[in-house]
Amino acid sequence: MIEVQGLTKIYPGNKGIKGISFRVAAGETFGFLGPNGAGKTTTIRLLMGFIKAQAGYARINGLDCWRDSTEIKRLVGYLPGEINFIENMSGEEFLNLMAGMHGQASVLRKRYRELADRWNLNLQQPIRKMSKGTKQKVGLVYAFMLDSPVLILDEPTSGLDPLMQKVFVDTILEEKSCGKTIFISSHIFPEIERTCDRVAMLKEGELIAIEDIHVLRQAQQRLFEIEAEDAEDVRKLLDSGLEIVHCERNRVTLRVYGDINPLCQILAGIRLKDFASQTADLEEAFLHFYLAKGHKDE
């Protein structure tokens, strides 16, 4: 459904993307990961036909994203990373305007009202008075109300609180079950982990890996801080063969990638006074995966 081959767009300062290639199958949910500034938004702007590539091409459903950009916009439900609204409108006025532009206004009005209820969105509020999170919800309602076969979402949960992030994940899973092709750009690992089939990882404008989501999970590290009862229990932890990050008196910090069963087996044999865990953020998991594949930073 989405095909990108050798796509290149470089801005002054060597920013942008450099010869990236990937495919997204029909019905697949594809995550596009990378730290801020990696080139995710540039890629999406090329997919939407807003800018022209310097080399390579992008196609959606066989249509060239630059030459056929008008048809692409009819095919895609799109959420930009930064949304520019008509500030003197209410949420309802904006969505009515968009519904009228796309045709089938009565059908779209019914759909956006159902979505607004789900997102706990007050459509009567003027957009200029909305918070960033509320504006994000209006953008999401617009993207989803079109019932498009393809969704392209750039940092979709930016500004949303945890409850609304869960609503987003549930909505994506529903759209996925309907056979939609979904492309999500993000730097937030949990939402990608819960929704995507495969993940592409972008670093400094270059695509460094495309993997099934279960493989990426194995790259995600967790830190465990354990306070043992006495020195004998500490010694069991130190002799476990697990990676020790820090040890001070009876408190030991370990790093584990993927499977935690070996740690659980060790913990079953010691006496604990305290236990805490922390999942590493995306950039750390991303860097570990990158280096584990044999790449080295320049």
For 185-196, write each residue's pLDDT tens digit: 987 777 788 899
Q: Could you tell me the two tokens for 198?
A: 């495969």
pLDDT at 257 over 80: no
Rounded alpha-carbon distances, angstroms, from residue 267 to 84, 213, 251, 277: 52, 28, 13, 13
pLDDT recorded at residue 223: 85
pTM: 0.79
Query: Which residue is it, tokens 């519904």?
Result: 99
Q: Which domains does the chain have, with CATH numbers?
A: 2-217 (3.40.50.300), 221-279 (3.30.70.790)
pLDDT recorded at residue 184: 95
pLDDT recorded at residue 292: 59
The amino acid at residue 232 is E
pLDDT recorded at residue 115: 94
The per-residue pLDDT of the chain, averaged, comes to 88
pLDDT recorded at residue 143: 94
pLDDT in tens, 210-246: 888 877 666 667 789 999 988 998 998 998 888 899 8
pLDDT recorded at residue 294: 52
pLDDT recorded at residue 34: 82
- Mean pLDDT, rounded, for 159-173: 91
Cβ-based neighbours of 199, under 8 Å, separated by 6 or more: 30, 31, 32, 33, 192, 210, 211, 212, 213, 216
Query: Which residue is it, tokens 């860097």?
Result: 287
pLDDT recorded at residue 295: 52
pLDDT in tens, 61-71: 999 999 999 99
pLDDT recorded at residue 297: 43
Give bridge partners of residue 201 from the DSSP assignment.
Answer: 33, 209
pLDDT recorded at residue 28: 96
Give the confidence band of 296 by pLDDT, cuts at 50, 70, 90.
Answer: very low
**Considering only 84-88, 151-155, 255-259, which range has the smallest mean pLDDT?**
255-259
Give the confidence band of 284 by pLDDT, cuts at 50, 70, 90.
Answer: low
Cα separation, 29 vs 11, whole angstroms: 29
pLDDT in tens, 33-51: 887 888 999 999 999 999 9
Cα separation, 170 vs 130, whole angstroms: 24
- Mean pLDDT, rounded, for 27-38: 89
The vertex-132 CA angle with 129 and 134, nearest 5°, equals: 70
Q: Could you tell me the two tokens for 162?
A: 């945890």
Share of the chain above pLDDT 90, in %: 52
Residue spans of alpha helices (H) in 65-119: 69-75, 91-102, 105-118
Q: Could you tell me the two tokens for 77?
A: 């439900």
Closest by CA position to 95, among listed 155, 147, 161, 140: 140
Give the confidence band of 181 by pLDDT, cuts at 50, 70, 90.
Answer: very high
Cα separation, 215 vs 198, whole angstroms: 9
- Mean pLDDT, rounded, for 113-126: 93
